[in-house]
Structure 1
Amino acid sequence: MKHHDDTDFDVIRTEVRRLCDKYGNEYWRSLEPDKYPTEFVADLTTHGWLSALIPEEYGGGGLSLSGASVILEEIAASGGNPSACHAQMYIMGTLLRHGSEEQKQRYLPKLAAGEVSLQAFGVTEPEAGSETTSIRTKAERDGDTWRINGQKIWTSRALHSDLMILLARTTPADEADDRLGGLSVFLFELRGDDGELIPGLTIKPIETWMNHNTTEVFFDDVVIPADSLVGTEGKGFRHILDGMNAERILISAECIGDGKFFLERASAYANERKVFGKPIGANQGVAFPLAQAYANLQAADLMRWRAAELFDAGQSCGAEANMAKMLASNASWEAGNATLNTHGGFGFAVEYDIERKLRETRLYQVAPINNNLVLAFVAQQCLGLPKSY
């Protein structure tokens, strides 16, 4: 991939769409219910799109998060499912901003060249859920290694990743300096030289409503090198916030892309389909829900760009990133529902791809954070209301 000026988003859209068109919606349909889009991800990697956020000095594209968001938006707008690859982008924030130079030199060129993949983000646990500070997975120093025990869940694409970024407790909660302390971040290789998972590591797929390739991961005395620690021990929660904000912004862009896919399909069908002698789009019962969804999608898109600009400028963007994710996920679901209603029975037919995309976009009202938690965050941080969680 040649280097793009970050303002030249139209070029990115054109080139990414050209790549996506090689596959088409038939390809994504053929992967249901749980096959991984290996060929598509390999093609993205070969063309440099998955290394977009890696600085040029390490062999990457050197794009801003805004530029990266356009890549994922366009995949979604084409009818594809960008969740197969988005983690390698949003995880990068933690490594780029807090990793040592040695870690960057070791991994970034290989990631940029497509020799290894970084898709696994081990944070969520069965008992903790969104309450990240209560995680129990432990990492204990043992000489020149760390020994890990615990469990992670909803660790998507772990079976298709060579590396994992893991958040684990290195200081007991009751001994940590504050509620956010005592957690550390680790970056390590999931497989040995023989290609098998490292000893003590077990990864089990979780069947879900949509094709998301998610898993649960078990650590039973997993030993990793001491230099796997990213940043400062005990500051891990703060370190992953960069990745979390990037994740919310990129997810919002995917939802915007989903919304565009829906409304493009709905508008075409409402113009073509004739009932009682006129296109169904002439009926306000069809047109108004689509128009309302379009307006809400456009408004959500503005918040997406605002959040991305703040992130790229290195400024605080927690509220904006969360609001962008919430607004965009609500807008894409609204657009999907309106599109389903526009198509009537055909909206449920697999060959129209609407039911598949509706399942995919529904996820983002509850992940990577539930929209109710976004509202609680906004109420407290933006309005100064009492803490609710």
Structure 2
Amino acid sequence: MDFALPETALAVQEGVRAIGARYDHAYWSRLEEEHRFPWEAWRDLAAGGWLGLTVPEEYGGGGQGLLELAVACETLAASGGTGGIFLYILTPGFGATTLARHGTEAQRAQILPGVASGDTQFCMALTEPDAGSDALRIRTRAVRDGADFLITGQKIWISGLENADWMVAITRTVPAAEATPRTSGFTLFLVDVKEAVAAGTLRYTPIPKMGSNVVTSSQVFLDAVRVPAENVIGEVDRGFSVLWDVLNPERVLAAAGGVGTADAALDVAVRYAKERTVFGRPIGSNQAIQFPLAQIKAKAELARLMTYKAAWLFDQGLPCQTETTIAKLTGAQVGWEAANQAFQTFGGMAYSKEYPVERLFRDSRIAKNIPVAEELVLAHIGTQVLGLPRSY
């Protein structure tokens, strides 16, 4: 059993860390205030090849796996770019990783070179107003119309749509009430976002939100969006297994982002605890400050190991749903705990936007709810791992 990161992952870590050093906390806080996408960081990451890591080499990418992508996401977050986690989840995760596994040759040739160069962006549309955690109940329909499909429905909390060229849209080609088993009748499509917006069949409304405003999250309306049959990802009616190859990387990358957030929060908290003097000594010498930070450091290392294990299992083509779920749970928890403890370490100054703590606090909190709620994660562990009776 080898716990050392492979050379490929170490190279990613070094490369992304060098780029992250150019974009400090002040940069990310300024963009958060302006509700502006981090184009400068995006272009530098693309130029270094750090966005196309999972794009096969024949399409201009790195030909690497989810482990390397998770390391990149973690490293960017640790540099202070906690909102930048979405840069890795949306396009390299939903786009490159999905197409590398399940795209047709034509789909990969058309789209992946643009992903590798940073010219193409993705979003993914699964969640609906009445179907969040219960994804089996989605109602967005795709109906055959000659050589095409027409997609009609409503999605919510779809992040990154404003810059997306392509959407991975999860639909029902068989209504939930008619599907046997319930996991049948799912079909995933590549939707040309700009084409659908121009045609007036796709509309979206940004949702005002508490944090992570470097990308928007929107309510989306699809009104007979025309999609050619060649844009199906995988097979018609048999997309549920493909969907898991979208969701498992999302959970791993969210976990990596949580671990990186914990690193970022610990860094600012430890530096402040060394510098801030009260009653004639640094506050970091007080066990009330020191011990919680030390506890979080231990939890961060445990969550990091679980994240790497889940990514490795995915790359090996092995079952990994439980591991990605546990990684997401622990990564989100330690990211939030670290930001919360950093807030406490700074005392009243944490409330000031002079410091990045308030942004870390806001960015980290949502991770306990997305991409899957903590309670549902625990229910999965209870029923699927421990064998306890279902509660839902």
Structure 2 length-normalised TM: 0.94
Deviation by residue 1:275-334 (Cα, 9 ceiling, x = unmatched): 111111111111111111111111111111111111111100000000011011111111
Are 1:50 and 2:55 an aligned pair?
no
Is 1:265 aligned to 2:268, yes or no?
yes
Contact 1:6 1:64 (8 Å CA) reproduced: no
Asked if 1 retains the 8 angstrom alpha-carbon contact of 2:15 and 2:48, the reply is: no
Deviates more, 1:18-27 or 1:140-149: 18-27
Residue type of the alignment partner of 2:316: A
Report the counterpart of residue 157 of structure 2 in structure 1.
Answer: 154
In structure 1, C-alpha distance between the alignment counterparts of 2:79 and 2:331, rounded to whole Å? 17
**Paired residues, what number?**
382
Alignment of 1:344-355 (within 5 A): 344-355=347-358
Shift of 1:382: 0.7
The 8 Å contact of residues 138 and 176 in structure 2, kept in 1 or not, is answered as: no
Q: Corresponding residue for 2:305?
A: 302
Where does residue 200 of structure 1 map in the other structure?
A: 201
Is 1:89 matched with 2:95?
no
How far off is 1:6 after superposition? 4.5
Aligned partner letter, 2:78: A
C-alpha deviations, 1:334-364, integer Å up to 9, x for none?
1111111111111121121011011111111
Equivalent residue number for residue 383 of structure 2: 380
Counterpart in 2 of 1:339?
A: 342
Q: Confirm or deny: 8 A CA contact 1:77 1:261 kept in the other structure.
A: yes
| One of 136, 151, 154 as aligned partner of 1:133 | 136
> Structure 1: which 5+ runs fail to align?
none
In the TM superposition, residue 196 of structure 1 has moved relative to its aligned partner by 5.3
* Correspondences of 1:253-292 after superposition (within 5 Å): 253-292=256-295
- The residue type equivalent to 1:282 in the other structure is S
Report 1:212-227 matches (<5 A). 212-227=215-230
Q: Name the SS for the 1:155 alignment partner.
A: strand
CA RMSD of aligned residues (A): 1.6
* Alignment-derived partner of residue 18 in structure 1: 18
Q: Which residue of 2 aligns with 1:39?
A: 40
Distance 1:222 1:8 in 2: 41
Q: Over residues 180-223 of structure 1, what are the superposed CA-to-partner deviations in whole Å (9 max), with x where a residue is unaligned? A: 1111000121113xx95333110111111001411111011211
Moved more, 89-98 or 319-328: 89-98
Taking only the aligned residue pairs, the percentage that are identical comes to 40
1:270 and 1:101 map into 2 onto residues whose CA distance is 54
Classify the secondary structure of the residue corresponding to 1:253: helix
1:247 positional shift? 0.8
Alignment deviations for residues 45-89 of structure 1 (CA, whole Å, 9 cap, x no partner): 222211111111111111211111111111111111223412112
Query: 1:330/1:43 Cα in 2 relative to 1: closer, same or farther (>3 Å)?
Result: same
Q: For the residues of structure 1 that align with 2:102 and 2:179, how far apart are their CA atoms?
A: 21
Write out aligned runs for 1:171-182 (5 A).
Answer: 171-182=174-185
2:174–2:185: 8 Å Cα contact kept in structure 1? yes
How many angstroms apart in 2 are the aligned matches of 1:284 and 1:357? 23
Kept after mapping to 2: 8 A contact 1:37/1:84:
no
Letter in 1 for 2:137: S
2:23 partner letter: Y
Matched-pair contact (CA < 8 Å) for 2:54–2:100? no
Q: 4+ residue runs of structure 1 moved beyond 4 angstroms?
A: none
The code of the aligned residue for 1:208 comes to K
Q: Distance in 1 between matches of 2:144 and 2:53?
A: 34
Structure 2: stretches of 5+ with no match in the other structure: none
Q: Deviations over 1:135-193 (max 9, x none)?
A: 0011101001111111111110011100010001101223222111111000121113x
Distance 1:216 1:68 in 2: 28
The 2-side partners of 1:207 and 1:117 are apart by: 22
Q: Which amino acid is 2:170 matched to?
A: L
